[in-house]
Structure 1
Amino acid sequence: MGAEMIAPGWMHDQVTADQYDSWSEEQCSGIEIVDGMIVVSPSASKRHNRLARILANALDAAAGPEWNADTDFDVRLQDVPLSNRRSDVTVYRADAIDITPTRPEHVLLVVEVVSPGSETTDRVVKTDQYARAGIPFYWRVEQAATGVPLVYTYVLDPAARVYRDGDVFTGVVKAVAPFAVEVDLDAL
């Protein structure tokens, strides 16, 4: 066999929505499905996970009773070919808590925390996919070399299905949309 690597068969077969829906949560953890193909996500760092949790907690507290904020679950962007994304934080309608799969029409905001290895996906690919799916708000968190996170906010242009630049925050997020929220990220 030499230095060649043989990829397992499952990496070459498209996954359907029915197949994916039959898998356990454990099987779905750590992967996303893009155009029917499994994309394995590396484990996030403790800093990444803490940042996502701080944001989710603050968004959940500020969202009011109509919205929930949570981490680490699938949003079904499309059924054929299957595309599921697992954003770092998702703000979704509270009345959709028991609806599976969560779909874009249930989602108000997605947040991605950029990590080494996810730069292009979080900055370009997911931005386009979330906008085409019609998710109204997208935040991208960059973990700057200074240690102080930068939060870039985007608002959907619904006619063009692209995001327009919103505010950029350093250290403390003081957003007014999609609802008023203040988060001190310096405490990370």
Structure 2
Amino acid sequence: LANALDAAAGPDWNADTDFDVRLQDVPLTNRRPDVTVYRAETIDLTPTRPEHVLLVVEVVSPGSETTDRIVKVDQYAKAGIPFYWRVEQAATGVPLVYTYVLDPATRAYREGEMFTGAVKATAPFSLTVDLGDA
């Protein structure tokens, strides 16, 4: 997914899997999303700031359900990150991708599209990737 996002994002954005995001300074809150899409020109700023991030992706694993479904969603929205995707493994073994879009007026996410197996997104940029191949 990170490679597909990186390719689809174009030259202005990078997608990385090992990238810290400083959500706030007080209290100090850093997160390391499973995938972060950020402005390419800010690659040397570590940790990156929310205003440089376009999309964060979290892959839910046993033990991270509450954090990924509730805590991080709220933190990323309050930090102003425009897009949040959550990847879950269905009982069938097919990945499910839930997408969220920030409402800047409320600093909360509204639900976007949900994809089963293959992602065919138009926002934040056009992307088609079969997660079954990943």
Flag whether TM exceeds 0.5 (same fold).
Answer: yes
- In 1, Cα distance between the equivalents of 2:122 and 2:19? 25
**Structure 1 length normalisation: TM-score?**
0.70
For the pair 1:161 / 2:107, whether they are aligned, the reply is yes
User: Which residue does the alignment assign to 2:75?
Assistant: 129
Give the drift of 1:156: 0.1
- In 1, Cα distance between the equivalents of 2:62 and 2:47? 29
- In 1, Cα distance between the equivalents of 2:24 and 2:103? 20
Aligned pairs, number: 134
2:10 aligns with one of 64, 81, 84: 64
Ranges in structure 2 where 5+ consecutive residues have no aligned partner: none
Task: Name the structure with the higher strand share.
Answer: 2
SS at match of 1:146: coil
Q: Which runs of structure 1 show a deviation greater than 6 angstroms over 4 or more consecutive aligned residues?
A: none
* Aligned-CA RMSD value: 0.6
Amino acid at match of 2:118: V
User: Which residue does the alignment assign to 2:97?
Assistant: 151
Ranges in structure 1 where 5+ consecutive residues have no aligned partner: 1-54
Larger radius of gyration: 1
Percent of matched pairs sharing the same residue: 84
**Structure 2 length normalisation: TM-score?**
0.98
Alignment of 1:1-20 (within 5 A): none
User: Which residue does the alignment assign to 1:139?
Assistant: 85
Task: Name the structure with the higher helix share.
Answer: 1
